[in-house]
Structure 1
Amino acid sequence: MEAEVKKLKLNADNLAVCLHSLLKRIEQLEGSAGHDKSNGTASDINISPSKSIDEALGALLAEETESAVNGPKSDVKIICNETVSIDPDTGLKKRTKVTERILTTKTFHAIAVNDGETHDCNYISFSTNEPRFITLKSNPFNDIRYHRQDGAFFITEVKPASSYAKDLHCGDAVVEINGQPSYTIRNLNSLHGELKLKVVSIPIHQAPSIFYRAIFDYDPNNDSYIPQKWSGLALKKGEVIQVMSQDDKWMQARKVNSVDKVGLVPINFASERVAMLTPYGRRVLILLGAPGVGRRTLKSMLLSYMPQYFATVTPLTSRAPKPKEEEGREYYFRTKAEILNKIRAGEMVEWGELDNQLYGTSADTIRDCIRGGRMCVLDCAPQALRYLYNKEFMPFVVVISPPDLTDQWQINKAKPNPRTEEQLQMTIEENKLLLSSEYAKMFHLILPNRNIDITFRRLIDALNQLKSEIQWVPEVWLSR
């Protein structure tokens, strides 16, 4: 009995709170109605507090529903549900009324607004990462200059007066022709009829490393000598351009922060020749280590992880190219006499002979990589430090060291082609010789490689520290 009385009292208290809130709302509505009458906009609903709760609630809902339907700016919808149930214990009837206010979605219509003068655009800018698909009625490769690299055709010059100048630009790479990959097409001049090209803008580091910073603004619309106004490249003071090609009067260039649009800039415009510097403060990353420690794997991971910051070089060889090999991709193919002349002239960082053919790395290929604004990654022999450890190349030297024999053995068992215990022991001995050699004073970091992923992460962390911490280098590197 006491529990039932307590429950009824609780219901009465809740009802009193609801009634108080309802009466307060009714008074607000009555005050609003009186205010509307004084302004000549009478309300048809006048609710008295003496009316029953159901009548008051019904009047309130009717007023809000009418406001929702007829109001010019209302976005409120009222839904009312009423249920009657019988308490199985007491037999009392319970009447429940649920009121919901739902905000409906407004629909807005665009209104045409005159935003000023419109301009004709003779070109379309595309995102660097998105290809362009171009259909040409005839073969353009007889009227433009290009070179083949990495399985694509890189356009190096397009004459402004050419009929293809609006579709093809310097710095474009043609990756597909009529649905076929470019590397499968050997003779471009033999193509006839309509051609469908898939074109992308090549990254900055794959284009010529010639950069200028504008000292003053340049507006091609004010240049009376430019062949076509639309072909010019407007510049603001301080903007940096990359020159794709040039002649006696004009440069075909693009902005480094917007590589999709290539235009003409006069050869004598006020500018300063500049170079791009890697953010790591060093120009070459040298990975040393005994055979089998994983330095080539780390090099490949680094080049794939951040190709915009790291690059490597293409070696030279005196052997003939194999089928599907391309100049500058797998090797630079030179005669044996040419490579020997480079060795005598001191232009080779390292070299060797295999099957009576010469292989090696040229210093010029490293310089080209550096001029492209990227850190050159080399996995070379320690003897190459004699050539590279100077202020021109400013290397960061990392030694990849093997773990002890027990750890090596555990790692080796998981490999598809495990090495013998003698080979593992030889790796450890060669590492000891390297760490005690005359080159040890040039080492900046030693990374034991127990897990390739962890070692790679530690290498990235060490490189990031070069960007944020003070570096100590030989004083001679900073002297003139």
Structure 2
Amino acid sequence: MDSSTTLTRIKLLLKMNEFLDIVLNRVSEELQTKPLSADITELLKLLSKPHVKSLLSVHDTVAQKSYDPELPPLPDNIDDDEDSVKIIRLVKNKEPLGATIKKDEKTGAITIARIMKGGAADRSGLIHVGDELKEVNGIPVEGKKPEDIIQILSQSEGAITFKVVPGPETEGLSNEHKMYVKVLFDYDPEEDKAIPCKEAGMAFKKGDVLRVMSQEDATWWQAKIEGGANPRAGLIPSKHFQERRFALRQQTSNTQPQKVSRKPSGLRRSFRLSKRGKKTNKSMYECKKSEQYDTADVPTYEEVAPYCRAHGAKHRLVVLVGPTGVGLNELKRKLLISDPQHFSVTIPHTSRVKRNQESDGVEYHFISKHLFEADIHNNKFIEYGEYKGSYYGTSLDSIRSVIAKNKVCLLDVQPHSLKHLRTAEFKPYVVFVKPPSIERLRETRKNAQMISWKGDKDSSKPLTDEDFQEMISAAQLMENQSSHLFDLVIVNDELASAFSELRQALRKVETETHWVPVSWTHS
């Protein structure tokens, strides 16, 4: 018999459900009756190695399905009249059990408060909310605090035996609506004194998308991070509970003395680019809408759904937000130059008199002051202001006009205007452009000039450290108050790299799936 026939027999023997000693004995006996060729000698040597023996041992164990842990025997001290008592055994590894308990202050009973979706208890299907806990691993829980029982469970591994009295059955919970939410604040259960069980809590960061698995508890939802590796849900504060806590904190902070700013309302400089890409007009006007954060909009959770722009569908509005001098206009200009057939900007409205070299609908839409005021009254402007007795503003219709031409409309606005643009019609993608450190501003903006107005004349002056600090402070205020509305944050340290980052992100907006408010997908 040649060595190939021998190897075939070995393969067949390995596939049989026989113990290691039988396999080795038969193989060794057969090989030893043959002339000790180099191949057979090498094979005998391999079979004697500990690694091969271990591999064959594992094979036999799996083949016999004998890998279940050995459970302890059922307790023999169960009273005959305890018909309603359940004895439950769960095999627990290092993961949490996935259940929380509470103590009834009146009766002292320890009951299951909640079952975490996807946890060990939930996967077993044996423990339910409302079950009364009597013993854990033979240890009575009567008179113990929930913390003592949690300590027992956390230190237990392998098989855990529970003695419980079934609670009232609940029906219909499995059909509960599942939803996805984008979180608008950071959360760490270790820092939350109100959470019933820190070990069951789930930390998350602003911008994460969560799948809410259960809203059975009005105060504490169960959720898991979408796309995360952990299949077990964790506790998070419910929307109502978090809003209530935020309101209480606001009330407390409002009772503290506030620093009053004596500086007049911020003035916004707006440059509009002509189709030739040159600066044609500049205007500085005072925005009539308050820049203070609307405390009625509490940033907690926003229900979202996946959205991908269909081929041929209207483009999403692209909104740039940032402090004066950070480079919004430079980024818009580079986008326009890069693809003028794809990107465009709005044409503003004004009530001032048209100059000789100007054309209606090119530099501005020129309308009367009476008509401008009527449009203000009818909420036709997303932003407007007054400068030297004339109105200037950006209308909603001017945005629609660009989008109707199958172009991407580029718009920069003050943060307070974002909530008016966040509609299913525009589906805005909001980019916050923030400045780098003051040291980098000194390096990169040393030749920059700021335009100032004095009477009917305008002049320019170099940017100072005071201008840089004001830019940084304004950016911090915007980020603190409105960051929950931003889809992307870009630090404009160097214009070319900032533009490259922005351009790449806008390509993804047009081709990839993004999470957007669920109301935007119902239109």
User: Which of the pair has more CA radius of gyration?
Assistant: 1
Scaled by the length of structure 1, the TM-score of the pair is 0.41
Scaled by the length of structure 2, the TM-score of the pair is 0.38
